[in-house]
Amino acid sequence: MLDIPPIKRVQLKELNSRLCSAINKERQSWKPLLIKDPQDSETEIGPNQRDEMVQWLLELNVKFRFCPETYMLSVTLLDQCLMAVKARPKYLRCITITCFFLAAKMKEEDEMVPATQDFVRDSQCGCTVSEVLRMERVVLDKLKWELNFVNGLDFLQIFHALLMTQRPTLLEDLHHMTPSRHLSMLTGRLSQCMTNHQLAACRGSTLALAMLSLELEVLAEDWLPLTIVLQRMVGVDNQWLIRSRELITYTLFGHSASHRMPSTRPISPPNPVSPPVVNSQKATPNKAKRKKSEIHENVYGNVKRLIDKGKCDMTLPTCPIPAISAQGGKTTVTPPGSCGKEVRQQDGDESLPSSHPPLTSIPVT
Digit-coded pLDDT (tens) for 265-308:
433 333 433 333 334 344 444 544 454 444 444 444 554 455 45
Same domain, 128 and 166: no
Alpha-carbon torsion (242, 225, 182, 237), positive or negative: positive
Of the pLDDT bands very low, low, confident and very high (cuts 50, 70, 90), residue 32 is confident
Cα 284 from Cα 360, distance rounded (Å): 35
pLDDT at 308: 52
pLDDT at 148: 87
Same domain, 105 and 67: yes
Of the pLDDT bands very low, low, confident and very high (cuts 50, 70, 90), residue 332 is very low
User: Measuring CA to CA, how many Å separate 272 from each of 36, 276, 277?
Assistant: 54, 12, 15
Mean pLDDT of 333-358: 40
Same domain, 124 and 217: no
pLDDT at 14 exceeding the cut of 70: yes
Mean pLDDT of 122-149: 93
pLDDT at 154 exceeding the cut of 60: yes
pLDDT at 299: 40
Same domain, 70 and 168: no
CATH number where 82 lies: 1.10.472.10
Q: What 3-state class would DSSP assign to 326?
A: strand
Same domain, 337 and 200: yes
Of the pLDDT bands very low, low, confident and very high (cuts 50, 70, 90), residue 338 is very low
Q: Among 13-22, 54-63, 217-226, 259-268, which is the least confidently predicted range?
A: 259-268
Of the pLDDT bands very low, low, confident and very high (cuts 50, 70, 90), residue 99 is very high
Question: pTM of the entire structure?
Answer: 0.71
Provide the domain count of the chain: 2
Asked if 159 contacts 212 with a C-beta cutoff of 8 angstroms, the reply is yes
pLDDT at 41: 75
Mean pLDDT of 152-161: 95
Q: Which of 142, 175, 191 is the last residue of a domain?
A: 142
Q: Which domain holds residue 116?
A: 31-142
Residues linked to residue 332 through DSSP beta bridges, in sequence order: 325
Q: Which of 109, 142, 175 is the last residue of a domain?
A: 142
Q: What 3-state class would DSSP assign to 334?
A: strand
Of the pLDDT bands very low, low, confident and very high (cuts 50, 70, 90), residue 176 is confident
- The per-residue pLDDT of the chain, averaged, comes to 76
Residue 4 or 214, more confident: 214
Same domain, 344 and 225: yes
330 domain-assigned: yes
pLDDT at 280: 39
Q: Among 33-37, 184-188, 223-227, 273-277, which is the least confidently predicted range?
A: 273-277
pLDDT at 172 exceeding the cut of 50: yes
Mean pLDDT of 89-94: 92
